[in-house]
Structure 1
Amino acid sequence: MAEERKTVGAVLNEQKEQKSAKKNGAAPQKGKNASVESPKADKETEQEPLKLTRGQIFTLTTLLIYKYRFARILVNRDIDKEEVKKKIESIRAAKGVITPFLVLSAKECIEAGLDVVDYNGNVITKDTPDLEHILVILDGQHRWEAIKELKKAGEDYEAYFILPLTDQYDLMTILKEANTSVNPWDGIDWLTMAIQTAKVRGLDTSKLEWLKSLANTENISDSAASLFVTGGKKIYSKATIKSAIDSKDPDKLETLVDEDGLDRNKNLYDAAIAKLNIKTVGLKITPKMLFSFVEQLINKNKPINDAYAHVIEFLNSLSKEQIESLDNAKKTTSRSKDQVITGLFKSYWKAFTERETLS
């Protein structure tokens, strides 16, 4: 059966009839299927306010006529340029967008405690003018960027938008499910979700934001980023982060964001990045070795701040030749690259501590 189509005028008249029926005590009629409105509104109804309803698919053309604009929430995944290229190819191949964008009002997102920004990076708040005309794209970020890129290239494709078909939802859950059911989130996406979830719960996000910054830094591995942030204690896998978000036990997320020792860890990272090549710093073995030296000193009853300061002093003492040896370390027939670097670090540390003892 062909899909039913409604003009904007028909939709508005239907809404007016439902309002009238509601006032008279009659139950409003519900549509059987999602229908698509046409941007060709007649003159009599064009100035009527457009109410977005569940089960109705709206075109971009119509939303723009009614002065709607779009925004995103910071919890959503960061834009991947390669993914945008794939979407452009897909839209061209299919001669259009295959599925509608999932949207929600900015007001509802803000009321849920989510950070909303427009596509120019401006923060949207409850005091933003015409807030009721701002829609947040929950699912379809890469398709949206693809549509904009295609338009710049002179290729116009219609876009379609729909509200969640159910009103029985938790906003964070619907966002997560919408994004993971088709194109699974990677570790950074889940980390972004954890940051926003923590903000909504009123938790400090400094630790997770630093972790995201390091993980997004070229030549810094995710494992090295986790070890620097946690003081060499843990590697935050995607499963660990997801578990903290999904858990009904609030302690899991609180443990994840715990910033104890964060300043010390940042100071050690800064010292390492200032002295060593970033590729060496970004290896998992580097923070592992540096924090093992910290642990050695603490086990010898050295105060923790002094232990960190001592390891930073060690880094600063490394000679140009020693640094080059670490940077140029390669695997041999009998040892892996990590084992070679481990041996070098241990050798340099031993020489440093022996000099300290003699002095």
Structure 2
Amino acid sequence: MEKEKIKGQGAVTNIHNHFIKNRYETSIYQDDYEEQIAKTKILEVFPKTIVNAVKSPDLPMAYSMNPYQGCEHGCAYCFARPTHEYWGYSAGVDFERVIMVKKNAPQLLEQFFKKRGYKPEPILMSGNTDCYQPIERKLEITRKLLQVCLDYRHPVHVLTKNALVTRDIDILTKLAEKNLVTVSLSIPTINEDLRRVLEPRTSSVNTKLKALETLSKEGIPTHVMVAPMIPGLNTPEILPIVKTIAELGAQSFGYTLVRLNDTVEPVFIDWLEAHYPDRKDKVLHQISEMHGGKLGEKQVLKRQVGEGNIAEMIHTSFKIARKKYFDKKEFPALALHHFDGTKGEQLSLF
């Protein structure tokens, strides 16, 4: 049976949270249910910390921070979906319609910077969910975090799918003057028809590309994540994407292979059935071929590279693209020596 498409939404249903005994089920009140899930709920939470240590050896950052939990962008493949279950919600519709916000994040970041003996390392903003998702336009938590980084002269990497990042170009350019910031834009496709259903509430392809060009022209080091690579959907675009981002000023790029771990799997399968029922079996078969017969892969050193012929073809295509379009481009390492952890103490004197 073909799944129903819901405009502006990635997940088709609220899949079961395996931590919870009760289940979501459709009923005679289905119309009321659909009206309820179509609205985004914003919930304020009060964490005690905002910076997370990253200990995975295949990830290049020491710390990450996420001002939001859940993501309105609605990407069906998002690896962060299962984290919503720890809060008591579904990795399906809830993940993109129940958003938890951390308004105290800027204060927590200042506390982190003031820790005795702290030695600065670049922090990735958006290690889990997007720091520039739609609610950021109103709350400006990410903007305030960037201002804290500027005040303390602390290096920060920004990763986003949203052109809203250009709103903060005033802060980003000041950080860039001291080599304290890079911006990575996630651009897994330059096919707008695919983008609309693959990541329904992100910026359009043209808007993302314009943001990339704008940031690059302002002297802000830019990187593009061509990710994830989904065989049968966006893999034919590898060379065109890399060529396009090179022409618009990107200094480097990276990519990952799609992996459907835990409750990402049923969300993505339902999404395929809704939008590409004719390709569903082919796409799933090729994904499993990249991960030793499974749709997901959790082994740290294998999850990014995969295995088999399809994975190797993707790697080869990117090697060719890098050689052709990024052969002489270099991406800067961020400066650490500008950090000043006494900023708060100095201000208290006045």
TM-score normalised to structure 1 length: 0.22
Larger gyration radius, structure 1 or structure 2: 1
TM-score normalised to structure 2 length: 0.22
Which of the pair is proportionally richer in helix?
1
**Higher relative contact order (CA closer than 8 Å, sequence separation 6+):** 2
